[in-house]
Amino acid sequence: MSGGLDATHDPALRSWVASANRPDSDFPIQNLPFGRFRVDGQPWRIGVAIGDQVLDLRLAAQARALPESLSESLVPLAAGDLNAFMALGPGARVALRRALSGALAAGSVAQASLSSCLVPQARAELGVACEIGDYTDFYVGIHHATAVGKLFRPDNPLLPNYKWVPIGYHGRASTILPSGQDFARPWGQLKAADAEAPVLRPTARLDFELEMGIVIGGANAPGEAVPIERAEEQVFGLTLFNDWSARDVQAWEYQPLGPFLSKNFASTIAPWVVTLEALAPFRRPFARAAGEPRPLPYLHCDSDAASGAFDVGLEVWLSTARMREQGLGAHCISRSNFADAAYWSVAQLVAHHTVGGCALRPGDLFGSGTLSGPRPEQAGSMLELSQGGKQPIQLPGGEQRSFLEDGDELSLRGVCERPGAVRIGFGACSARVLPARPRP
């Protein structure tokens, strides 16, 4: 399991970057997430978020404001290659975190050198933090799986394998888009229940899925299973993830091999990856309700049971075109929590993914699956919130939504909070739905 608390988590720690000390900042000095950015079309660079600024790690390396012992670690970061830095392993990540914490702390002698290495986030274009080679979407949200199952199988909502196997499918990495990049409503085959043949049309049941992204930082050789006791050594950090879905396309195509065009047109990922070290104060025991089956031995270890859950509060905010025209702000349509929603832990996902010999590589991405809470208002998709379109949700200004319409903008937010720790956040994960392109 990843390391515990150290001086970088001290709630009394403050930064000379004033905006990082605001109580509502997502990026205090206790966070220090990694991302990729550029300014005015220049080459992409790797930076660390601090307050409302980005610390440009290429400029920081040139300024020689960090310990000489980190020079090897800074080479890939200065070159804009987060994948190569992740491949150096958790030790390099922990050492850099401690050095950055000290350099950005109030009173640091590095302030004079690093102050010119800051870029306002408002000026920066934020991209996908790393090159994503492979993407697997899991289905860990048991409340989502149960609610959706009830819509289609009222008497048998959960299939027998759900509580034994971390269910997942391999998705499409090429259409994972950075937060802020809009996308067009997708086309696909649709078939009405009373129709003899399907038709090709833009989806009429466009949906979001509230997920966490799990960014893989390590590698294992083909044929080498990663034991659950070491599974988190493969994980760099967590981010927000929205796996957009065309529910009517999905209903027609998913038997017998699962989602295809209904999922591969767009997925939106937040720009910042929050490391496991930053999340250390917000870990919880990973426990299931009494009477649940005990996982097979390769999916269980005492350390994962003791602290394998991450307490991340999640929110979904919706803004329609009419709301923006009327000057109305975005409306929160759902709140849930990663720890309360997930039936499988991050470590279990890594262990299961590799048990058959699958090789993971730095930059691979896991989606958690939809993270709905146990109550109806905590649903992480429109499919659940509207009960399959039968009960539209009410929005400010008098509008209703069963599924997403053109011009709708959806934003995911994530925050970790607990007494005795400084609040940290994940930034926004946002995109707007554009009209479908002309008929193919």
Contacts of 260 (CB under 8 A, 6+ apart): 253, 254
Check whether 127 has a pLDDT greater than 90. yes
339 residue type, one letter: A
Torsion sign across C-alpha atoms 164, 169, 170, 174? negative
Q: How far, in Å, CA of 387 to CA of 59, rounded?
A: 51
Q: Give the model's confidence band at 158: pLDDT under 50 very low, under 70 low, under 90 confident, else very high.
A: very high
Find the largest Cα–Cα distance for the chain.
Answer: 74
pLDDT in tens, 287-337: 888 999 999 999 999 999 999 999 999 999 999 999 999 999 999 999 999
> Pick from 312, 315, 332: which is nearest to 418 by CA?
312
pLDDT in tens, 333-371: 999 999 999 999 999 999 999 999 999 999 999 999 999
Per the listing, tokens 């833009």 go with 202
Q: Characterize 178-197 residue by residue with b for buried, 16 or more Cβ atoms within 10 angstroms of its Cβ, and e for exposed.
A: bbbeebebbbbebeeeeeee
Torsion sign across C-alpha atoms 152, 156, 160, 165? positive
Q: Which fold has domain 7-126?
A: SH3 type barrels. (2.30.30)
For the chain, residues classed under CATH 2.30.30.230 are 7-126
Percent of the chain with pLDDT over 70: 99
Q: Characterize 208-222 residue by residue with b for buried, 16 or more Cβ atoms within 10 angstroms of its Cβ, and e for exposed.
A: bbbbbbbbbbbbbee
Catalytic residue among 9, 143, 144, 352: 144
Check whether 153 has a pLDDT greater than 90. no
Percent of the chain with pLDDT over 90: 95
CA angle 287, 290, 292 (to 5 degrees): 80
Torsion sign across C-alpha atoms 270, 275, 281, 284? positive
pLDDT in tens, 371-429: 999 999 999 999 999 999 999 999 999 999 999 999 999 999 999 999 999 999 999 99
Q: How many helices (H) and strands (E) does the chain have?
A: 12, 26
Check whether 3 has a pLDDT greater than 80. no
**Paired tokens of 127:** 């991209």
- Calculate the average pLDDT of the chain: 96
CA angle 349, 354, 359 (to 5 degrees): 125
pLDDT in tens, 260-296: 999 999 999 999 999 999 999 999 999 888 999 999 9
Q: Give the model's confidence band at 1: pLDDT under 50 very low, under 70 low, under 90 confident, else very high.
A: low
pLDDT recorded at residue 259: 93
Per the listing, tokens 């083909």 go with 222
**Paired tokens of 167:** 């269910």
Check whether 2 has a pLDDT greater than 60. no
Contacts of 323 (CB under 8 A, 6+ apart): 329, 330, 331, 395, 396, 397, 399
412 contacts 429 by C-beta, under 8 angstroms: yes
pLDDT recorded at residue 440: 85
Q: Give the model's confidence band at 4: pLDDT under 50 very low, under 70 low, under 90 confident, else very high.
A: confident
pLDDT in tens, 169-199: 999 999 999 999 999 999 999 999 999 999 9
9 catalytic? Reply is no
**Is 0.85 surpassed by the pTM of this model?**
yes
**Paired tokens of 388:** 């399959």
Task: Please state whether the peptide bond connecting residue 271 to the residue before it is cis, i.e. omega within 30 degrees of 0.
Answer: no
pLDDT in tens, 244-253: 999 999 999 9
420 residue type, one letter: G
Average pLDDT, stretch 231-247?
A: 98
pLDDT recorded at residue 20: 98
For the chain, residues classed under CATH 3.90.850.10 are 135-434
CA distances from 230 to 134, 236, 303, 393 (A): 21, 13, 10, 44
**DSSP secondary structure string for all residues of 376-411:** GGG-SSHHHHTTTTTSPEE-GGG-EESSB-TT-EEE
Q: How far, in Å, CA of 271 to CA of 128, rounded?
A: 5
Q: How far, in Å, CA of 286 to CA of 349, rounded?
A: 13
- CATH tag, 135-434: 3.90.850.10
pLDDT in tens, 71-115: 999 999 999 999 999 999 999 999 999 999 999 999 999 999 999
Q: How far, in Å, CA of 150 to CA of 154, rounded?
A: 4
Average pLDDT, stretch 236-244?
A: 98
